[in-house]
Amino acid sequence: MTARELRRVGLGVVMAGLMAAPAVAQQPPEPTPVTPPTETTPETPSEPPAKGFIASGVTVDGVDISGLTREQARVKLITEIVQPKSHSLLVTFRGRRIPISPRSVGYTAAVSRAITGAYNVGRSQPAGPKDIALTERVDRRRLMRVLQAKTGRYRVAPRDVRVAYGGGKVRIIRSRPGIDVKLAVAMKRVEGAVLSGRRDGALNLPQRRVRADVPTVPTQIFIDRGRFKLLLVRSRGIVTFPIAVGQTAYPTPSGRFSVVNMQRNPTWTPPDSRWAAGLGPVPPGVGNPLGTRWMGLSSPGIGIHGTPSPWSIGSRASHGCIRMYIRDAERLYSMISVGIPVTIV
């Protein structure tokens, strides 16, 4: 075969290969084998429970009552759940041991309702293992009243600060906080112990401090006519001032009063009294009988004020008012306010 003939044969082979290639590319993929469905065995329906008996696999709060009658189940639940929780609970408050009866705080358990729910399993309710919850409760209002009554005898009432005057001295009895049960926390603890049935030792009830209504010394004034002293009592201490009081004919009244009005640089107006007959008002300034400050009391016509007659301090010289040195009256004026109590002895 000549070279020319060989070239013709080679070209023919190449053309045949090119024409065959599309046919190979267009061949469809092999089909995926299909697994035939497996046969399933139908579930055999569970047999309904025997008439009058609770189905198998039924519990109430973990207590197995399957196969029992309603009455048998009731007895079992009361014996295993209710009765243990009906025993008295021991609590302590301020070191005192206090028994609390669950019945007194209204403990109840809905046993009949739980048994009805259990009996319906496999009947009006789906069959199968099932645990029925037993509804239990405590009457929180009764619990609160019981705790208040039981701990009330051991609580400590708060004591207000008290101020007394006698023998020329002020005596201060300090306030004291009270002690009471922390009721909300105590209720939660007792309720939890009753419902859980826990009786392993005494349950401690928390305490709280009760603040006194008057914890600090209120500002007040004591006037001692016999010792010619005015004492200003405050929480920060006691300030004593020398004074003059009413003459024997015009005595300064004794008793409990209060400051009802206060004036700077007052005008003196003569009272409706025989000793002031014919006198007219005196404007503020030098020689004013009231000095520069007036602190009127709830006793009509009586007040605390400065005096332009400093030599009268320490004597019975006024017509019923309490006289002070002008500088002392100004200082006292800056330290008090309307409404503070004044006790004159």
Annotated catalytic residues are 305, 321
Q: How many other C-beta atoms lie within 10 A of the C-beta of residue 106?
A: 15
Which of 272, 338, 282 is closest to 308 using CA atoms?
A: 282
Query: b vs e for 269-306, b when ≥16 Cβ sit within 10 Å of the residue's Cβ?
Result: eeeeeeeeeeeeeeeeeeebbbbbbbbbbebeebbbbb
CB 209 within 8 A of CB 178: yes
Give the C-alpha separation, 140 to 290, whole Å: 65
**For residue 64, what are the CA distances in angstroms to 49, 120, 134, 288?**
15, 15, 13, 100
Q: Please, which residues bridge with residue 35 across strands?
A: none
Burial of 143 (0-12, 13-18, 19+ CB in 10 A): buried
Amino acid residing at 152 = G
